[in-house]
Structure 1
C-alpha cells in the first residue's frame, strides 16, 4: 500500500510539473518612448492593451485619441507639455469665401473637437483601465483631457492649464480615480464630471468615482459634479475660483446625490464670473448643492469666500433654477470662518440638516 501511495504522489507531481511546464508565458508589456517632434498618436495606435506610451521632456503640438484598454499614457512631469497644433481645427467650419484662408485639416477627432487628450469608448463597449499621468495639457479650445464611456480611468499628476472650457472632464464614465492633479485658469470647471451634457436624463451612478488631493485654482468652478451619484470628493484644495464645488441636479430622475464632500480646504474663491445661460453670476461660493439628495458635506475647512452672488457663502443649499428641491442632505462638522455668510439655506426641500458646524453667520439665522 505504501509503495502504491508513493507511486501515486510521484505520478501526481509529474503531472503537475508537466502542467506547469506547459503553461503559456505571460505576455510582456511594451514601453513606447516618444520624443518631441515624433507622433504620440502613432505610438498610441501601435500600442497593445497594457502597454505604456512614455512621453519624454519637452513640448508636443498634438492632440491624442486613446481607445486601447489598459493603456498608460505618461509623461515625466509638468515639463512634458501638450499644446494644440498650429492652425488645427477646433470644430469651427472654415469660411468658403474665395479670399478666405484655408483652415488646416485636424489630425484627428480629438483635435477637431478642440481637446488635447481624448479617452473614448462607445455606448456598447467602454474603454477600460486607461491611465493618463505626469504631463501638462494647455491652451486647447475646449478641454485639456476629455473622457467618455470610460471604466476605471485613472488621471494622476496631470496639470490642465488655460483650456477654453474644462481642464479635465468626463461623461458617461464609472470607477474613475482623479488624484494629485492641478487644474488652473480654465474657462469653466477645472474638473468636470457629468452624466452627459448633450441630453436631459437622470443622474448616473459612477460606482465609486474618487476625486482626491487635487488643486483647483483660478477656474470659473473648481469642481463640478453634474447629475451624478455615488462619488467622493476628499482632501482637495480649492482657491481663487469663482466657486469651489458645485453638486448639481435637476428635475430628471434619479436625482443627483449620494455625493460625499469631505476634508477639503476651500478658501478665497472670490473671483467674479458673469452670468451664463445656465447659471447666475458667481463669486464667493465655497460649496453649493442644488437639486441634490442624500449627500454628505463634512469636516471641510471653508474660509473667506466672499461675494455678491445669490450663491455666495461658505456652504450653500440652493433651490435649483428649474425648481427642484434638495432633500435629506447632511451638513456636519465643518469649520467655517470669514465667509459671507458661512452657511446658507434657501432651499425648501425636506430632511436637510446642519449640525456640529463651527461657524459664526448663517442665512437664515440659527444654522450655526
Structure 2
C-alpha cells in the first residue's frame, strides 16, 4: 500500500512538471513596457498574440500600426500622449493616422484592445480600424484630429466605451461599411458605442451604411450635429440601429456646407435613409439652428432620395429645440412612429 502511495505521488509530480513546461516563457502572455524615448512600434512588432504593450507616461511622436491578434495597447491615461512624427515612416503615419488596427481584405484582425491613452493632432484619424472583429477602444482621448477622432470600416463586434473625443474636423466617432465604394449596409453584429463624451466636433457620432449598432449613454454636446444615422439608395438599407439613453444638448456649433451636406447647426439626432431603428429614452435639448437638418430629432429625406421607413421615436424628453423638437420630413405613409415623447413643438404638428 505504501509503495502504491509513493508511486502515485511521483506520477503527480511528473504531471505538474509537464504542465509547467507547457506554460514556458516562450508561450506565456507578456507585458512589453515602453519608456519615454523608446519606440512603441518596436514593442508592438515584438509582441505576440495575447501580449500587452504598456506605454508609460510621456509624449511619443510616432504612429503605431497593430496587426497582431489579441494584442492590448495600453497607456497610463492622458499622460501617455501620441502626436505626429516630424516625418512619417510607415503607411499608418503617411495616411495621417495615430493608431491603425488593421486586418486584411480576406481576414479580420481579432480581439485587439486600445486603451488609456491620448492621440492628438493627426491629419486624418486618431485611431483608425480596418477589417477588425472584437475591437475594444476604451478610455481613449482623441483631440484635434483633422478628420475623425475614432473611426472604423469593414469591422464587426466592436466596442467604443468611455472615450473622450473633441474638436475633430468631421465626426468624433465614425463607423462605416466602407468609404471607398458604393454598396449596401453591412451587419456589424452588435457593435456598441457606450458612455463616451463627444464635444466640439463637426458631428458627434456618425453611423453610415451599417446595421445592428447600439449607441447608448453618451454625452454629446457643442457639436454642429449630435448623432447622424446615414443611409442611401443602396440595399440592404441602413437600419436596425438603437440610439438609447443619450444626452444630446446644445449642438449649436456652426459648420460650413460641404459637397455632400448643407451647412450644419443645431441638429440633435438626424436619421436619413434609415429603416427599422429605435430612438428611445434620449434627452435632447437646446439644439437650435436654421439648417435643413436642424431640430431635436429629425427624419430627413436624403439628398439622394432614400427614405426613412418604419422607425420608432419613443419615450424621449425634448425641449428648446428649433425649429422644433420633433421634425418629420418624410411621407406619413412610411410607417415611422412617434409615441410617448415629452416635447412641446413638432413639424408637422401633432407628433408630441
Report whether the alignment pairs 1:40 with 2:40: yes
In structure 2, C-alpha distance between the alignment counterparts of 1:347 and 1:321, rounded to whole Å: 13
Report whether the alignment pairs 1:179 with 2:164: no
Per the alignment, residue 288 of structure 2 pairs with 306
Per the alignment, residue 349 of structure 2 pairs with 365
Per the alignment, residue 178 of structure 2 pairs with 196
Per the alignment, residue 342 of structure 1 pairs with 325
Report whether the alignment pairs 1:133 with 2:131: no
SS at match of 2:41: helix
Per the alignment, residue 337 of structure 2 pairs with 353
Note the 1:9-24 alignment, pairs <5 A.
22-23=18-19, 24=22
SS at match of 2:42: helix
Note the 1:185-334 alignment, pairs <5 A.
185-334=167-316
1:160 to 129, 142, 148: 142
Q: Name the stretch that deviates more: 260-269 or 340-349.
A: 340-349
In structure 1, C-alpha distance between the alignment counterparts of 2:8 and 2:210, rounded to whole Å: 55
Per the alignment, residue 101 of structure 1 pairs with none
Per the alignment, residue 79 of structure 2 pairs with 79
Against the structure 1 CA distance between its residues 12 and 233, is the aligned structure 2 distance closer, same or farther, given a 3 Å change threshold? farther
SS at match of 1:261: strand
SS at match of 1:315: strand
Following TM superposition, the consecutive aligned residue runs of length 4 or more in structure 1 with deviations greater than 2 angstroms are 11-27
Following superposition, the deviation at residue 25 of structure 1 comes to 2.5
Q: Name the stretch that deviates more: 21-30 or 11-20.
A: 11-20
CA offsets 1:16-73 (integer angstroms, 9 cap, x no match): 9977764433732111111121111100000000111111111000001100000000
Q: TM-score, normalised by structure 2?
A: 0.94
Per the alignment, residue 23 of structure 2 pairs with 25
In structure 2, C-alpha distance between the alignment counterparts of 1:56 and 1:347, rounded to whole Å: 52
CA offsets 1:196-228 (integer angstroms, 9 cap, x no match): 001000001000001000000000000000000
Report whether the alignment pairs 1:70 with 2:67: no
CA offsets 1:57-110 (integer angstroms, 9 cap, x no match): 110000011000000001000111000012x2xxxxxxxxxxxxxxxxx31110
Paired residues, what number? 343
Q: TM-score, normalised by structure 1?
A: 0.90
In structure 2, the gaps of 5 or more residues are: none
Following superposition, the deviation at residue 15 of structure 1 comes to 9.0
The CA RMSD measured in Å over matched residues stands at: 1.9
In structure 2, C-alpha distance between the alignment counterparts of 1:73 and 1:302, rounded to whole Å: 35
In structure 2, C-alpha distance between the alignment counterparts of 1:313 and 1:118, rounded to whole Å: 35
In structure 1, the gaps of 5 or more residues are: 1-6, 89-105
In structure 1, C-alpha distance between the alignment counterparts of 2:9 and 2:225, rounded to whole Å: 67
